[in-house]
Structure 1
Amino acid sequence: MRRVGIVLLGLCMGAPLLAQQAGAPWGYEGKEGPLNWGKLDPAYKACASGKEQSPIDIRGAHPNRKLQPIEFHYISGTMALVNNGHTIQITPPAGSYIVVDGVRYDLVQFHFHHPGEEAVKGALPDMSLHLVHKSADGRIVVVAVRLNEGNPNAVLAALWQHLPKTVGATDKLTEEMNPAGLLPADRAYWTYEGSLTAPPCTEGVRWLIFKQPVELSRSQLRSFATLYKVNSRLIQATRGRKIQASE
């Protein structure tokens, strides 16, 4: 895993589908990079002035026995892939959802970041997977899976065969897959209140970050890194926010 200090030249993104597509162009390098997002468009002001921004370094988490397990109700289906210029975004068929604190959140899309965005005691994973969910009243929950180099990942192998190589390109995974195959066996998690990690950096997003990482092979890691060398945001200040840990 990589240390936070090594990657301070341009980290992190969040939920591109839910980001304001009509706003000013943004990216991960130069004048359109994360350090300038708040200056690019008035709609992005939270990126600079927000008090509960994401991602953060997970440390000092408080165990909470009252935290309930996340209920996953994911279904198998074909997947639509797009290279949107910020990441590879995958849209599943309607019907997959989670239940958190008795509320249903539908799976809207999932996408990847390189290097990973969720630091744990200063260490960043090689990549991150973000599964973006939305409730009927518009609340957002993002489930984050940390990905580290190791054994080949069979589910990613199927997806990686269809990676759109150029911005705007699309593809489709015609054989059915279930997003649950991308989750770790141990579903214990950390949770905190944060934001989207891409413009407009909207706050009020609940993050659920699995403690157990998932492995992918070096070749799978390199395949994504060839498309996106860096598409992650800098670690943001915690500002006294409470991080809770399930058991």
Structure 2
Amino acid sequence: MKSTKVIHWILVCLLFSFSTISVVLGAEKTTHSWGYEGDNNPSQWGRLSAEYETCAMGLFQSPIHLTPSNLIRQDGKIETHYQPTPLVINNNGHTIQINYEPGSYAMINGKKYELKQFHFHTPSEHSLNGKKSDMELHLVHQNEKGNIAVIGVFIEAGKANSTVTTIWNHLSETEGIQEVKEQIINASDFIANNASYFHYQGSLTTPPCSENVIWNVMREPLEASRQQIDQFMKLYPMNARPIQEHNNRLVELIINQSS
């Protein structure tokens, strides 16, 4: 009986690994249908497939509540080394995702992670001081060992964002990938180096909800206009996973002297 359970968990782990790579690299579809409402809403993700079991059984799931009362450190930092890339928009049925060319990376607490893609959620998935923002941007990275690190940025209504404008100008209601090669964007427009951020260990916020994801959520928000936010919401009125149990995780607020 024990050997059977061991084999089962080995197979599950292999499925998690494959699914995680697919999500990070921007696969258009996952194996099983999931969503944010109806019968396949987040409360049901863990029951849809064996490869999604971590969504229900995981102890270090994301997103979570964040608060400045967390442990404060001053010995960490994020440095982004993002290059311009041709605009490739993937409307994957769950969000608007921008796939990134190889060669751009972030140094997160001294470790190198290559930028693979970024995408958007509304409202924000994480909350700060019990309050959610209008949207949240996730810049998804992966290192040579396959480990994932995400930089999260809150988005609040304010001034229009020029990079968001460029992307939104090419949005389509039709699912699929659009290559706008004549249009160049740069993810460095979204994030300031050496900004203060919350650092913790969590998971992907979409199936398969794989854990051991290093989260780095910027303390200061990005601005986008109300019109830009509403334009996204016409396609995806709500695509945020609910807040998950904290389970006494260590969450650090890394404050840099320059921020």
Give the paired residue count.
Answer: 233
Question: Which one of 220, 231, 239 corresponds to residue 239 of structure 2?
Answer: 231
Gaps of 5+ in 2: 1-19
Question: Which residue number corresponds to residue 152 of structure 1?
Answer: 160
Is residue 63–residue 202 contact of structure 2 (8 Å, CA) maintained in 1? Answer: yes
Is residue 148–residue 212 contact of structure 2 (8 Å, CA) maintained in 1? Answer: yes
Question: Which residue number corresponds to residue 178 of structure 1?
Answer: 186
Question: Which residue number corresponds to residue 221 of structure 2?
Answer: 213
Is residue 62–residue 245 contact of structure 1 (8 Å, CA) maintained in 2? Answer: yes
Alpha-carbon offset, residue 168 of structure 1: 2.4
| Comparing 206-215 and 68-77, the one that deviates more | 68-77
Is residue 53–residue 195 contact of structure 1 (8 Å, CA) maintained in 2? Answer: yes
Q: RMSD in angstroms over aligned alpha carbons?
A: 1.9
Asked if 1:53 is matched to 2:67, the reply is no
Is residue 137–residue 152 contact of structure 2 (8 Å, CA) maintained in 1? Answer: yes
Residue 100 of structure 2 aligns with an amino acid whose one-letter code is: P
Alpha-carbon offset, residue 76 of structure 1: 1.0
**What fraction of aligned residue pairs are identical, expressed as a percent?**
37
Q: 1:154 to 1:52 in 2, by over 3 A?
A: same
Q: 1:196 to 1:71 in 2, by over 3 A?
A: same
Q: Going by fraction, where is helix more abundant, 1 or 2?
A: 2
Gaps of 5+ in 1: 1-13
Q: 1:171 to 1:163 in 2, by over 3 A?
A: farther
Residue 200 of structure 2 aligns with an amino acid whose one-letter code is: Y
Is residue 15–residue 196 contact of structure 1 (8 Å, CA) maintained in 2? Answer: no
Is residue 91–residue 97 contact of structure 2 (8 Å, CA) maintained in 1? Answer: yes
Higher relative contact order (CA 8 A, sep 6+): 1
Q: 1:80 to 1:189 in 2, by over 3 A?
A: same
Give the TM-score taking structure 1 as reference length.
Answer: 0.89
Q: 1:243 to 1:225 in 2, by over 3 A?
A: same
Q: 1:213 to 1:16 in 2, by over 3 A?
A: farther
Q: What CA distance in whole angstroms lies between the structure 1 residues aligned with 2:82 and 2:101?
A: 10
Is residue 78–residue 193 contact of structure 2 (8 Å, CA) maintained in 1? Answer: no
Asked if 1:189 is matched to 2:197, the reply is yes
Q: What CA distance in whole angstroms lies between the structure 2 residues aligned with 1:135 and 1:97?
A: 9
Listed as ranges, the matches of 1:83-122 within 5 Å are: 83-122=91-130
Question: Which one of 241, 244, 247 corresponds to residue 252 of structure 2?
Answer: 244
Q: Which has the larger radius of gyration?
A: 2
Q: What CA distance in whole angstroms lies between the structure 2 residues aligned with 1:24 and 1:38?
A: 11
- Deviation digits for residues 197-216 of structure 1 (CA, Å, limit 9, x no counterpart): 00010000000000000110
Is residue 46–residue 201 contact of structure 1 (8 Å, CA) maintained in 2? Answer: yes
Residue 23 of structure 2 aligns with an amino acid whose one-letter code is: L
Alpha-carbon offset, residue 226 of structure 1: 0.1
Listed as ranges, the matches of 1:14-163 within 5 Å are: 17-18=23-24, 21-59=29-67, 60-66=69-75, 68-163=76-171
Listed as ranges, the matches of 1:194-205 within 5 Å are: 194-205=202-213
Is residue 162–residue 173 contact of structure 1 (8 Å, CA) maintained in 2? Answer: no
Q: What CA distance in whole angstroms lies between the structure 2 residues aligned with 1:63 and 1:74?
A: 27
Asked if 1:164 is matched to 2:172, the reply is yes
